A and B are shown apart, each in its own frame.
Chain A
Amino acid sequence: MAPRISRRDALAGIGLAVGSAGCAGRARNLAGRDGSSQLVLEIRTTPADEDPHGIRIARALAENLTAVGVDARVETMNVADLHRTVLLNHDFDVYVGQYTEVLPFDPDELYGLIHSRFAAEPGWQNPFGFTDLETDEHLEAQRASGRADRRAVVADLLTDVCEKQPFTVVAFPDALAAARTDRFVGWERGPPVSATGLLGMEHVDGGRADGEPVALRLVTTDGRISENWNPIAAEYRRYGTFMSILYDRLAVVDDGTAIPWLARGWEWHDPETLAVELRSSTWHDGEPVTASDVAFTYAFLRDTSMGNAETPVPAPQFRGRGSIVESATAVDDSTVRLRIGDVGADVATRALRVPVLPEHVWSDRAEMATVGGFEFDVETTEALVTPNEEPVGSGPVRFVEATPGERVVFERTPGHFLARAGSPAADDGSNGSPAGDDGREGIPDAYLGTPSFDRLEVSVVGSDVEAVQWVADGHADGTVSNLGPDSVPRIGREEDVRLVSTRSAAFYYVGYNARRAPLSNPRFRGIVASLVDKAAVVDDAFAGHARPASTPLSTSPEWVPEALRWDADDGDPIHPFRGEDGTLDVAATRDALREIGYRFDESDRLLARDQ
């Protein structure tokens, strides 16, 4: 002991001696500080071939960031890659993407997107790493509140979100499709990228040979559907259109209201428990769909390892709505009780909109994922990485075959409850009445007997321009991926092709990684938001086929308070563009940045702490 103490004393003595000279201490104080250099922000998005809009938004934002003094770089990557780095690995600064809902949605959608309880989970739940106590409170309050006071609570929530900008809503594009009407009509009934839109498509007899199966032929630039059919793999799903007709959900949304689908109906067992009665239905492999499959699904979304891992491995999708259900219990073969907790009735039905998975297929996938027998990542289960070849769902179409990168074929499921014999009940209670029980009660007439095609063929092409050409040449009936400024004008020049435009809730947004400075600063995000010239973007990137927006709920305007609505003259009510007529006011933006504490060097570069 003694020698050590004496050595320490000696060192202290030397330190004191040097320190008293004054010089070393000063040197430490100076050299020990981390320096500053120009702020570098990388904006990730998809290349123009895959999506014509995102890259244009990213370029416009990068240009304005550069003008202000940020070293802004745009990096393109395919959408599976983008989702992998952004949603799963949280490895990004800024990205431009499109949201996954095409139909107007409930404010509770934001719960999964920005609640801090999901900040550490990979997937669509809080990819931004946004954490804010006040926002959490609003999110929980809107879940718990009854119909009467929910509107006011949601208004507070939206105001809070608009101010803090965990992400910046840019615009709501119209869901555009190039379509032929010589074989199928009904394109305008709903976005063809929605399950209800696809089911609503009607076949017109165009002199086809008898006995030939009727095929609806779609064309897309998104090749992922030809490679992967895992309904919970976030990096491979866009809107989940094809997944939602492969995998039935307990309820689907039709014209804004939840209608019973795989569920025959539901009722409150007690104020905190929903009793759901299932229709009789079978999986595509012939096994019956049971209440225990439903109970399994909710447990599985919460922890895809089913308790095998030390900590739960949640599904990267459907966590927001899945988290409404605290526990699910099968009472008998066709009844399942969902313990909902303190949640309002409107939000509760959102819990019914998750794809029901067959327990006999997915329970084997609860083990840890391995490659060649090695576990790579203790937080990943087989369920998250399986491409789910030969998917077994219970939906109105089933998988037939696929060639990766080229095409995928589905066919109508024989015996699905939509297709069962019996004409639509014309006069008596087609909506929710238990009378006339042919196993289809509660389903609107429009869906009875659907789909009207025997086969659904989806071909993958290189770009939106090529997709339009396929429709023009008669190789496809319609497009189901985004159409940009290069392809939309072509539709008018082709005789047999029509431009179909429907409203969509799939907004484009700029996402920020709030885990990284300075994007962790809501004031800084607010200034970045004000560099997005939404009106100009709508003109340039969308050729006018979009509406600029200030909130994620712009297609559900009943929720948006007056003060937050997009103003035709003044633009964004909270973070208006800093400039006029597409020209950024650089000096004013720099002043705003200085005001919130940022500095510039002599060449007007925005400085940030070295990371």
Chain B
Amino acid sequence: MSPLLSIVTSVLLWVAAMCLVAGVAIVGPRGLYGVGEHLGPYLRESRREVAALFAVLLVSGIGRPALQSVSEVFGLRLTGAILALEGGFVAWLQGTFHSPELTLYFSSVYVYGYAFLLVFPFIAYAALPESTTLKRLIVAYTLNYALGLVLYTVVLAYGPRNVMPDAVTSLLYTFNPNFQTLTGEVNVETNVFPSLHTSLSVTVAAFAALTRGEYPAWTALAWWIAGSVVVSTMYLGIHWLTDVVFGTALALGCVYAACRYVDPDGRGSEATGGDPDDAKARG
């Protein structure tokens, strides 16, 4: 089995298992039954948004080499500026808290926890009686990816592990080199600004806060995992603090925009328990 296939299989199995457990525990058997019932109609209803998400993912997948070339020629090289701005924060974080147990924890969260975090909301929100939240989630994901792609093209920067290998170890890849086979498929090393791991995790966390009425347990779980993913991006030496701060800002902006775009009058907001400004205020 090729290195990529084996790691992808392992991620798929883990995410499926976690979704199953979380589905039963958080959504409940009856709710899961509702997923089967709603998912098709909800997605049909949100076909424009789904199409937009796929379009962005397609552009990101196919157009990345071309955009990367544009970035190399015209992009802003900000590695030095970011380093000057925040100095050795990531080195301090890693140097202070580094332990084999934490490395195991954060590596798992970065790969498996993150994948679960992105997938599970589809199940949870498809179980809701209204499609608004699912639609908003899809719009927010789309905006994250689209703006992320634009920023990746405009800004060319390397992460701490590439720039200060004497002070920051590339912990994820020294923990399991095969993870690099996976991440290498998903992204390139010059795309660190902003951290999409952070922005998508914070997006999910913001939605979890908006739906705390329906899924209080999910809110707690999502916040825990999202928090861990955010810290892991820095602990593992992949992202700068700057990337994380901008990733968070990007996420909150996207959630706000998604709420404004989908059902801005809040007709369905009783069901999803939140109004647009909530996300901004709470994030």
**Which of A's residues lie within 8 Å of B, judged by CB?**
42, 47-49, 52, 55-56, 59-60, 73-78, 81, 404-405, 461-463, 465-466, 468-470, 473, 475, 484, 486, 490, 540-541
Tell me, in angstroms, the Cα distance from A60 to B167 when the chains sit together.
11
CB distance from A225 to the nearest CB of B (A): 16
Tell me the chain B residues, 134-190 only, with Cβ under 8 Å from chain A: 158, 161-166, 169-170, 173-174, 177-178, 180-181, 183-184, 189-190
Binding-face segment, B72-80, B97-105, B120-128, B251-259: B72-80
- Is A465's CB under 8 angstroms from B79's CB? no
Task: Write out the residue numbers on chain B whose beta carbons fall within 8 Å of the beta carbon of A59.
Answer: 164-166
The answer for the CA separation of A55 and B80 in the assembled complex, in Å, is 13
Closest to B157 in A: A76
B62 within 8 A of A: no
Q: Output the least CB separation between B98 and chain A (Å).
A: 14
Kindly state the separation between the CA atoms of A572 and B18 in the bound complex, as whole angstroms: 60
Complex Cα distance A315/B170, Å?
39
Residues from chain B with a CB closer than 8 A to the CB of A75 are 77, 79-80
- Knowing A73-B80, A405-B65 are in contact, say whether A48-B163 is a contact too (CB < 8 A): yes
Cross-chain contact B181 with A461 (CB below 8 angstroms): yes
Closest to B64 in A: A405
> How many residues in B have their beta carbons less than 8 Å from beta carbons of A?
28
Residue of A nearest to B183 (CB): A462
- Measured in the bound complex, the distance between the Cα atoms of B84 and A42 in whole Å is 13
Q: Is A47 touching B163 in the complex (CB atoms < 8 A)?
A: yes
Q: What residues of A have a CB within 8 angstroms of the CB of B65 in the complex?
A: 404-405
Question: Quick one: which of B5-63 are within 8 Å of A by CB?
Answer: none
Nearest first, the 10 closest Cβ-Cβ pairs linking A and B are: A469-B177, A47-B162, A48-B165, A462-B180, A466-B177, A466-B180, A73-B80, A462-B184, A76-B158, A47-B158
B96: interface (CB < 8 Å): no
Query: What residues of chain A lie closer than 8 Å to B77, measured between beta carbons?
Result: 75, 77
The answer on a CB contact under 8 Å between B170 and A465 is yes
Alpha-carbon separation in the docked complex, A465 to B183 (Å):
14
Complex contacts, A42 vs chain B, CB 8 Å:
80
CA distance A81 to B79 in the complex (A): 15
Task: Tell me whether B170 and A463 are in contact (CB under 8 A).
Answer: yes
Complex CA–CA separation, A260 to B17 (angstroms): 64
Chain A: minimal CB distance from B123 (Å): 32
Q: Which residues of the partner chain B approach A55 to less than 8 Å between Cβ atoms?
A: 162-165
Q: Collect the chain A residues with CB atoms within 8 Å of residue B84's CB.
A: 73
Contacts of A78 on B, CB cut-off 8 Å?
A: 72, 190
A-B contact sample (8 more), CB < 8 A, given A48-B170, A52-B165, A463-B180? A55-B162, A75-B79, A76-B79, A462-B184, A463-B177, A465-B170, A475-B2, A484-B165
Q: Say how far A536's CB is from chain B's closest CB, in angstroms.
A: 11
Given contacts A75-B80, A405-B65, contact A465 B166 (CB under 8 A): no
Check if A540 sits within 8 Å of B166, measured CB to CB: yes
The 8 Å CB contact of A465, one of B158, B180, B189, is B180
**B interface, over-half SS:** helix
Complex Cα distance, B163 from A556, in Å, reads 33
Chain B residues positioned under 8 Å from A56 (CB to CB):
165-166
B189 touches A49 (CB 8 A): yes
Which residues of the partner chain A approach B163 to less than 8 Å between Cβ atoms? 47-48, 55, 74, 76
- Contact A486 B170, CB 8 Å, known A462-B183, A475-B3: yes
Report chain A residues within 8 Å CB of B169. Answer: 486
Q: Nearest residue in B to A485 (C-beta to C-beta)?
A: B165
Nearest Cβ distance between residue B222 and chain A, in whole angstroms? Answer: 30
Give 12 pairs: A residue, B residue, CB < 8 Å, sorted on A.
A48-B162, A48-B163, A49-B162, A56-B165, A461-B184, A462-B173, A466-B173, A468-B177, A473-B178, A484-B165, A486-B170, A486-B174
**Alpha-carbon gap, A336 to B163, bound state (A):** 50
The distance from the CB of B99 to the nearest CB of chain A, in whole angstroms, is 18
Closest residue on chain A to residue B77 by CB atoms: A75
Residues of A within 8 A of B2 (CB): 475
Inter-chain contact A462/B189, CB cutoff 8 Å: yes
Task: Find chain A residues with CB under 8 A from B184 CB.
Answer: 461-462, 466
Whether the pair A469, B164 counts as a contact (CB closer than 8 A) is no
- The smallest C-beta distance from A466 to any residue of chain B, in angstroms, reads 4
| Bound-complex Cα distance A73 to B163 (A) | 11
Determine which residue in A42, A48, A49, A463 has the highest number of CB atoms from chain B within 10 A of its CB, and name it. A48
Q: Contact: A465 with B72, CB < 8 Å?
A: no
Tell me the bound Cα distance from A469 to B84 in angstroms: 34
Residue of B nearest to A60 (CB): B166
Q: Residue on A with the closest CB to B162?
A: A47
A486 to B167 Cα, complex, angstroms: 12
Q: Which residues of A contact B3 (CB under 8 A)?
A: 469-470, 473, 475
Contact status B80-A465, CB under 8 Å: no
Instruction: Please report the C-alpha to C-alpha distance between residue A74 and residue B170 in the assembled complex, in whole angstroms.
Output: 19
- Name which residue of chain B comes closest to A77, CB basis: B77
**What is the CB-to-nearest-CB distance from A591 to chain B, in angstroms, rounded to a whole number?**
28
